[in-house]
Structure formats: C-alpha cells, structure tokens
Amino acid sequence: MKTNRDILAELWALAGGDPSVLGSITLSGAESVLPSSFRVDTAAQVTIAAAGLAAASIWQARSGRMQNVAVDLQHAAIECRSERYLRVDGKPPPPAWDAIAGVYTTGDGRFVRLHTNFPHHRDAVCKVLACKPERDDVQRALMQWQGEAFETAAYAGGCVVSLMRSHDEWSATGQAQALASLPVLTIEKIGEADPRPWPAGDRPLSGLRVLDLSRVIAGPVAGRTLAAHGADVMLMSSPKLPAIPWLVIDTGRGKLSASADLTTEEGRATLRGLLAESDVFSQGYRPQGLAALGFSPEQVAQASPGIVYVSLSAYGHVGPWSRRRGFDSLVQTAAGFNHAEGVAAGTTGPKELPMQILDHASGYLMAFGAMMARLRQSREGGSWHVRVSLAQTGRWQWDLGRLPQGLATADLTSEAIRPVVEEAESGFGRLVAVRHSAILSQTPAAWSRPAVPLGSSPPQWPTRG
C-alpha cells in the first residue's frame, strides 16, 4: 500500500509540480482516524497538503522564499467534515437531510438513494413516482419499479437519485469505462495570453480575484481554500437558486458574496464586468451548463485572456452520464462505496463513508489545480482549464486501497475536535468552526473576511494593494 507521501508525490507530478518542493512537506499522524474501510483520512490529508504546497510554491515564485508546510492527518480528517462541527451562537447544525431523502428498496430488491434537499428535486421525485412527499408513500411507489428503470426515469424527470451498485457493477457501466483512462484532475491550456504578473501582497494569493459559482460543498470548499491563502473570493449566487444555509456559513468563510441572476441580461452583464478583472473562474454547473449563457471555458478565456477556469462535475465531462446531476452521497452509492462499506460492516444495505470525502477532496483538488494552473500561467502565459469530478475523485479514492480493520476505529470525541476550532464573529452570529489544517510556516492560512449572508456584497472587486 502506498504511503501518503507517495500518493502526494504522484498528485504533485500530475500537476507539473517541481519535485524538489516535496522536501518542504511534513505529513503527521497515522491511519485511521475515522471509522471506514477506505483510506478517507489519507485522501483528506493528501489533497489538503497538495493545495498547501501549491500555495507555498506560488509564495516562492512571488517572494523568492520557500516555506515549510505541515498537515496533520486527524486535523485534515476533521476539516473534511467541517460542516458537522460548525456552531452558530452555540447552536449545532439543523437536520442535514430532507424528510424523504435517503435509501429505499425497489420492487426487484435493489437499493436506491434519493437526494431531495432542494424542493424542486423533491417535487420531481414525487412527480415521477406519483406519490405524496412522505416516506411511506415513496416506499410504496418504489415497490412498483425495477431499480435501474427507476434511476433512468428519475434522471429523465429531473430528479437526483442513484441505484446502489457494487464496484464491479459500476466498473461495467459505460460511464465508469469512459472515465477509466482519465487522471483524477486535468490541467489544459485552452487559449493564448501573455503571462500575468503577480500583484503586490504579503500572502501567496494576495490580490488574486476568484469568481466562485458553486453551491453545496466541493466548489465552495475550493473557494474557501483559496481565500485561506489570501485570494479575494467572490461567491456569486442567484436569488432563483436554492441554498443550504448551514453550508453557506461553513464554506463562506473568507468570501465576499454577491448576487446575479444569469438567466437575465442584467445578471450576465454583472458577471461579465467582474470576469474582466478576474484571475480564476470556478464553477460547479453540469458540463455545458454555462455555455448557453456565454460562460463556457473558451468564452471566458476569450473575455479574460490568461484566466484559469475550474470546472467541477458529478460524473465527469465525458461518457453517457456526463450531463447527470449528482452529489457526493449519490456518487458514493452509484460507484460502489456504500455497497463495499456495507459488506465490510456485515450489513445487507448501504453504509455511507464517515464524511462527504468525495466532495471535500474534490474541493481541495480544485483549489490545488487552480493554483498550479495559475503558477504555469505566470511562467508560460496562456489561459487554462482545470477539470475535477466527484466520480474521478471516487476512483482515485478507491485506488488508494482498503483498511481491513478500519471500521473498528472509534469515531472522534468532542475533546479531539476542540484543539482545531476557532471562534469568530460573522454575518450570522458568533461562529465556532474548524481551522484550515495546512500549516504554512511563513504565511499562515487564515480567513480575513467573515462569512456573510448570500448577496451581502456589492458586485465589485476590492481595490488591490
């Protein structure tokens, strides 16, 4: 089984990193921290470390000084379920799931998972099933369906669901086969542009402007990470799109928050105005979802030559499922994780991983890719496109290997959490939240802006310097 340092070295090489920089990293701690048969703690530590090293490399390019980076395994694992530990004015998170979300059985004895946290997704499920939004009604309706037929019909009806598959079943799908030859992330040059100089500043990403068009966990974690290293990150939300308030608070630390409805010309004009002065454009729409609005990678690169465009998708940008909506819990179910974890636990049904690791790891990979692409841009010029998907992160997680006794690990106590949280005021009240786990010796990671309600900021960049 590969060591965490070996896994990090492979990621670093994939992104074109200078191998000598790896001597600056310290990875502390031993598996396992959270109960799982998968190396989820390793995925947390390695992806956070990769992003930390990228920030340190940018600092070296800007200042001429390399710094040390340290990531503790337990702190990284805690950070990859930071939303659980957030407290607002002393209050814990509300229930995470909608009343009818979760696992059901179908008429052929298969398990399906429904994601209904957004009202329009819940309504779509009830329309396909012709039932009321109550668990018993949903279960009775699903008994009239074969599992795979329901999954297909549900996606056609705008639902967000998945059939539980074994890893072998997933590997036999056309989608898994379409992704099999792709790396966990790609960084591609998509246009010509002069190298952009680094703006003045005393942190790795000082003066860099990041547009964050994402929701829920993975994309917002990427923006939060870039903000932790000094970037000006502006979360762009739409009044027409639903949000999950607790996640907005946890992942909104360090960000500005403006609003624009991209279905209107006024909203698109607002975004174009911001885009003209942006360094990174990070988005979590389905592949091709922004193209019709004028914000495909190529369109953005033409509007802002030299930009780094970061794309997140659920199932990847190629293959028959590339247009499907998805969330971490659904990709876990579809790709074999819940089945395998259930088998390891000795249960007949699905068992979830102990955190939304596909989301969190993908977020850190997005931030890592964005920084490495920006570093290349400063040297080579060009506009760049970084691609990450939950499914590709899942395949990478699977390939890290299994821990035969991993599920015997006791979950973390509140005493273990206490040393890695910090308190701060916010636009929502006083927060207790998990600190960033990448420790940089010269430019400590920190969020200089509090989390604020959606749309609180004017759609304009702060002055540089």
pLDDT tens digits for range 419-436: 999 999 999 999 999 999
pTM exceeds cut of 0.95: yes
DSSP state, residue 196: P
Thinking of the domain 4-93+179-317+354-440, which architecture would CATH place it in? 3-Layer(aba) Sandwich (3.40)
Instruction: State how beta strands 161-163 and 255-259 pair.
Output: unpaired
pLDDT at 465 over 70: no
Confidence class of residue 168 from pLDDT cuts 50, 70 and 90? very high
Mean pLDDT of 239-267: 92
Contact 190, 297 (CB under 8 A): yes
Burial (CB count <10 Å: 0-12, 13-18, 19+), residue 366: buried
Confidence class of residue 242 from pLDDT cuts 50, 70 and 90? confident
Instruction: State how beta strands 232-237 and 161-163 pair.
Output: unpaired
Specify the amino acid at residue 288: Q
Calpha distance 325→285 (Å, rounded) = 9
Percentage of the residues of the chain whose pLDDT score is greater than 90: 91
Percentage of the residues of the chain whose pLDDT score is greater than 70: 100
Q: How far is CA 264 from CA 159, 260, 270, 271, 323, in A?
A: 25, 9, 10, 11, 23
User: Would you call 118 helix, strand, or coil by DSSP?
Assistant: coil
Q: What is the pLDDT of residue 310?
A: 98
pLDDT tens sequence across 10-69: 999 999 999 999 999 999 999 999 999 999 999 999 999 999 999 999 999 999 999 999
- Residue with the bigger pLDDT between 437 and 243: it is 437
| CA proximity to 280, closest of 216, 234, 247 | 234
pLDDT at 455 over 90: yes
- The backbone torsions φ and ψ at residue 394, rounded to the nearest 5 degrees and listed phi first, read -60, -45
Please, what is the Cα angle at 418 between 45 and 214, to 5 degrees? 50
Mean pLDDT of 144-167: 95
**Cα–chain center distance at 271:** 22
DSSP state, residue 9: H
DSSP state, residue 451: -
| CA proximity to 261, closest of 277, 246, 241 | 241
Q: What is the pLDDT of residue 448?
A: 95
Q: What is the pLDDT of residue 96?
A: 74
Calpha distance 416→386 (Å, rounded) = 35
Q: What is the pLDDT of residue 240?
A: 83
DSSP state, residue 393: H
Residue whose structure tokens are 């702190």: 75
Confidence class of residue 241 from pLDDT cuts 50, 70 and 90? confident
Confidence class of residue 325 from pLDDT cuts 50, 70 and 90? confident
Confidence class of residue 98 from pLDDT cuts 50, 70 and 90? confident
Residue 118, C-beta contacts closer than 8 angstroms, at least 6 positions apart: 242
Contact 4, 358 (CB under 8 A): no
* DSSP H or E segment with residue 232: strand 232-237
First-to-last C-alpha distance (Å) of the chain: 47
